[in-house]
Amino acid sequence: MGLLVWRVGTGPFLHGIRAVDATALLAAFAVGVVVTVGCAWRWSVIAAGLGVRLPLPEAVGSYYRSQFLNTTLPGGILGDVHRATRHGLAIGDVGLGVRAAVLDRVAGQAVQIAITVVVLAVFPSPVRPYLPAVAAALVLAGLAAAALVRASDSKGGRWALGDEVRGGLIAHGNWVRVGAASTLVLAGNATTFLIAARAAGVTAPLTVLLPLVFLVLLATAVPLNVAGWGPREGAAAWAFAATGLSAQWGLATAVTCGILVFVASLPGLGVLLHGWLRRPT
């Protein structure tokens, strides 16, 4: 963030903050509901595949709380750690709760990467020349993951990774529901960024913006941020500049998006406070 201020000044930050209006906030909040329900649905499906009961309303509340923590604490994953451990304690098996949450995150990011590669292949983008190498690397990563699962199963032990992957992500048609939920979540996140771009005054057509949006969302998933800030702004500044839209517009859009995402996560604060108030004294 300091590097961005040094390179482009404080103007884009201030513009991004001023660009936030009631219409953008309401739209982002509504999209945030869809995204959160989609995330909770995916988590609930995966938990059921692992033999754990997780009602959707409970999953929605827990996901809102984790999103709020992710957008207010460093790293971007502490909310998920909290969600996993609380669920594990509730079912009497912290390890199983953690594995369900890990499968949830991995499934979401796998679908995100796959769709991002397709979008970048269809629409012009600054990384299009590198897509063949990226696709080859993804295939190798998939083969390595499959080999890891098989090796884990062959060693036996207290739990088999392959059994849990199959149960949580594949069996009983779970792959369809998990894929649909992940696609819904990704579409919602992309919509939020597009709302931010229009609110910030970016008028580029969707064919130009879509590949940039998906590149920025990939950077947002990197757990090296402070309360959600850092990689998103850097990636937006670079991607917009590489496309000829200027780093200032990219940074302003990312700042607006950060504010919209934070506001959309505020129900999580209510869930957190409700949990504290219900603690026995």
Asked whether the predicted pLDDT for residue 46 surpasses 90, the reply is yes
pLDDT band at residue 82 using 50, 70 and 90 as cut-offs = very high
pLDDT reported for residue 4: 85
| Alpha-carbon gap, residue 68 to 144, rounded angstroms | 34
Mean pLDDT to the nearest integer, 148-168? 64
Task: Determine which of 25-29, 76-80, 129-133 has the lowest per-residue pLDDT on average.
Answer: 129-133
Task: Determine which of 61-75, 116-130, 258-272 has the lowest per-residue pLDDT on average.
Answer: 116-130
pLDDT band at residue 107 using 50, 70 and 90 as cut-offs = very high
Give bridge partners of residue 229 from the DSSP assignment. 226
Rg (CA), the chain: 20
pLDDT reported for residue 156: 55
Number of H helices and E strands in the chain, helices first, is 13, 0
Taking the model in full, what pTM does it have?
0.89
pLDDT band at residue 62 using 50, 70 and 90 as cut-offs = very high
pLDDT tens-digit series, residues 207-258: 999 999 999 999 888 878 887 888 999 999 999 999 988 999 999 999 999 9
Annotate 135-199 with DSSP letters as a single string: HHHHHHHHHHHHHHHHHHHHH--S--HHHHHIIIIIGGGHHHHHHHHHHHHHHHHHHHHHHHHHH
Helix, strand, coil percent values for the chain (each to nearest 5):
80, 0, 20
Task: Determine which of 108-112, 126-130, 158-162, 274-278 has the lowest per-residue pLDDT on average.
Answer: 158-162
How far, CA to CA in Å, does 27 sit from each of 32, 78, 221?
A: 8, 27, 22
* Position with higher pLDDT, 57 vs 134: 57
Mean pLDDT of the chain: 88
pLDDT reported for residue 154: 57
pLDDT band at residue 151 using 50, 70 and 90 as cut-offs = low
pLDDT band at residue 166 using 50, 70 and 90 as cut-offs = confident
* Position with higher pLDDT, 164 vs 10: 10
Mean pLDDT to the nearest integer, 24-42? 97
Mean pLDDT to the nearest integer, 265-277? 90
Mean pLDDT to the nearest integer, 53-68? 94
Asked whether the predicted pLDDT for residue 158 surpasses 60, the reply is no
| Alpha-carbon gap, residue 167 to 45, rounded angstroms | 10
Asked whether the predicted pLDDT for residue 195 surpasses 70, the reply is yes
